[in-house]
Amino acid sequence: MAEHRIETPVSDEDIAKLRAGDKIFITGYLYTGRDSAHKKLIELVKEGKELPIDVKGQIIYYVGPTPARPGNPIGSAGPTTSYRMDSYAPTLHSLGLKGTIGKGSRNEEVKESLKKYKGVYLAAVGGAGALISKSIEESEVIAYPELGPEAIRRIKVKD
């Protein structure tokens, strides 16, 4: 198992170095989102409208964080079960999304989409939300604030 450090935005070359089982440390900005936010993004795509985020070269972390305590940018930020986004992922991959982070397996359509568009699915450890949140330096709601914890956030992460 190799270790890799990557920075966002992510390139095809970054993805090509990765292998199943590798340990990945990410520095830069990620977007967050769960099924409600993904549904809204895909509706915009179908309507031919601009997305509130540019997904090209980006990674989406499937998370609905808890409220931040005073002095912290975010609360506990454990991964959400990824299969709930499977129906939306191929469309986002086709728009340039390079990676997703979540827990659990993906369906065959998502796996094929990742191969076709040179993307990656990164598995995070469920139950480690408090630990993961320590790597998040900034958090800002970018879209769909009405969704509460499921809003799309832009988070700055280090390792």
Tell me the domain boundaries of the chain: 3-157
CA dist list (Å): 19 to 15, 69, 96, 114: 9, 36, 20, 13
| pLDDT number for residue 151 | 98
Work out the burial of residue 102: count CB atoms within 10 Å of its CB; fewer than 13 is exposed, 13-18 middle, 19 or more buried. buried
Using 50, 70 and 90 to split pLDDT, how confident is the model at 158? very high
Which CATH code, of 3.20.130.10, 3.40.640.10, 3.40.47.10, 3.30.300.30, is assigned to 3-157? 3.20.130.10
pTM for the full predicted model = 0.95
Which residue's structure tokens are 């991964």?
A: 79
Q: Take residue 24 and report the two structure tokens written for it.
A: 């990945």
* Active-site pick, 8, 30, 35, 38: 38
Nearest to 90 by CA among 128, 42, 125, 54: 42
- Catalytic residue check, 38: yes
CA distance 112 to 94: 12
Phi, psi torsion values for 23, nearest 5 degrees: -100, 125
Phi, psi torsion values for 129, nearest 5 degrees: -60, -40
CA distance 131 to 77: 8
Question: pLDDT tens digit string along 118-129?
Answer: 999 999 988 888
Average the pLDDT over 136-140 and give the result.
97
Question: pLDDT tens digit string along 42-83?
Answer: 999 999 999 999 999 999 999 999 999 999 999 999 999 999
Q: Take residue 138 and report the two structure tokens written for it.
A: 């900034």
Average the pLDDT over 7-28 and give the result.
96
Contact 59, 38 (CB under 8 A): no
Nearest to 138 by CA among 62, 23, 31, 10: 31
pLDDT at 131 over 90: no
